[in-house]
Chains A and B, each alone.
Chain A
């Protein structure tokens, strides 16, 4: 194997890789924020009595979870303009990732919701709280605490999924790595570093999440 390792070239472009990483994190954060709102709304809607909303939520979740994310991203970016919706590549990717996250988070929150003990709802009603008050001050906080671990793993997944944005030329980490690869042919070095950055970031996020969980696992 005639290959000389020259990490220097990669280090010279390291700032671009870091920018890509930061962009990826930012995209993941926005997606999980939007996805959380969608997920909470859908989980509560599906738990309510209305049959139509439950079917609708199930359909949404089933469609998104069975469709490859790359297909969703390309559909939103290339096909929506045909319907008159023109989004730039950032908006388009965020929208795709948010819709994608929403489906997974709906399931996370539904599980969290079913983990709320039935008796606690009775207790809330017994002290005179209305249904809305019970949902807000009792069910919702407990559901959230139940869902924290799964939300954490979903966030890590979403962060890795930001690599898909490369396909529509969003300059996150994978895009930058590919660019350096193509320009410098420092193939092993750049992919080693890129992969290392992803793994390190995931480990840091996971460690951070464990701390948060420890704080809140009083339940």
Chain B
């Protein structure tokens, strides 16, 4: 195992929505270059966990440490305050996120989508941004569609552009939120292959997915979440072949694995 400190460290993260505890004391470490999959039933808190990591949601207690920096909150004299928008935005740029419904900017071409973060957030010059964006589009196999608009792309192509958009920001960690759930079955493979290649290239990934076979193939560890808590966690092979908790056994049975 890696002797260096983990890239991402989630410590006792909790979040409450009214009277429901959506996230309950979550503890998780992700090492650099690791691929961790999060599985579980709908409502188990997987997406909320991801959205807390990239600060799209706030959380009530606990800490998230990314590459040594505690993100989202500032602790002063024992009181915890949410950071200002500008600080949050800077920290958000350190993580990349790919969404279930792609969320491409409809008014920009594929190239424009990838370039926007480069010019406005990383403040690159337009020509440099264009070159970098094109190279990322090439890496996901869509260089020839650079000028196309989202409405002119298939679901799988849109999702690959979304992946390029996230990666172009050079994030330390990429969060994938059920990125194939909204795709037609025949388009799922091209996206999964793209993710496999990224995993091979050593990019740190935290993946929420329903694709069990894919999770088993590409992840080093798997986290099973149930009703806001981590019910089981361990190496992918062991979790899928020899699940220890009853809930996980039932879940895998229902998922026909």
Chain A interface residues (CB < 8 Å from chain B): 117, 119-120, 122-131, 133, 137-138, 141-142, 145, 218-219
A127: B residues at CB distance < 8 A: 92-93, 96, 116-117, 121, 165-166, 169
Instruction: Report how far A133 CA is from B105 CA in the complex, Å.
Output: 13
Q: How far is the CA of A160 from the CA of B54 in the complex (A)?
A: 52
Inter-chain CA distance A80–B92, complex, in Å, is: 52
Give chain B residues whose Cβ lies under 8 Å from the Cβ of A122. Answer: 56, 97, 99, 103
Contact A120 B117 (CB under 8 A): no
A129 and B166 contact, CB distance less than 8 A: no
Interface centre among B106, B121, B166 (most CB of A within 10 A): B106
A125, A126, A138 — which one has the most chain B CB atoms within 10 A of its CB?
A: A126
Interface segment out of the listed B74-82, B83-91, B214-222, B226-234: B83-91
Q: Decide yes or no: A128 and B97 within 8 Å by CB, A122-B56, A122-B103 being known contacts.
A: no
How many A-B residue pairs lie within 8 Å, measured between CB atoms?
81
Contact A130 B104, CB 8 Å, known A137-B120, A218-B149: no
* Least CB separation from B151: chain A residue: A218
Instruction: Give the residues in chain B near A142, CB-CB below 8 Å.
Output: 105-107
| Chain B residues with a Cβ under 8 A of chain A | 54, 56, 85-86, 89-90, 92-97, 99, 101-107, 116-117, 120-121, 149, 151-152, 162, 165-166, 169
CA distance A122 to B165 in the complex (A): 13
Query: Given the complex of chains A and B, what is the CA–CA distance between A126 and B56 in angstroms?
Result: 7
Mostly, the A contact residues are: helix
Other-chain residue from B85, B95, B99, B105 in contact with A131 (beta carbon distance below 8 A) = B85
In the bound assembly, the distance between CA atoms of A202 and B86 in angstroms comes to 47
A91 to B40, CA, bound (A): 66
Determine the chain A residues whose CB is within 8 A of the CB of B96 once the complex forms. 126-127
A137–B116 contact, CB under 8 A?
yes
Contact partner of B103 among A123, A131, A141, CB < 8 A? A123
Residue A128 contacts which of B93, B103, B106, B152 (CB distance < 8 angstroms)?
A: B93
Contact of A128 with B105 at beta-carbon distance under 8 Å, contacts A137-B120, A219-B151 already known: no
Report which residue of A122, A130, A137, A145 has the largest number of chain B beta carbons within 10 angstroms of its beta carbon: A130
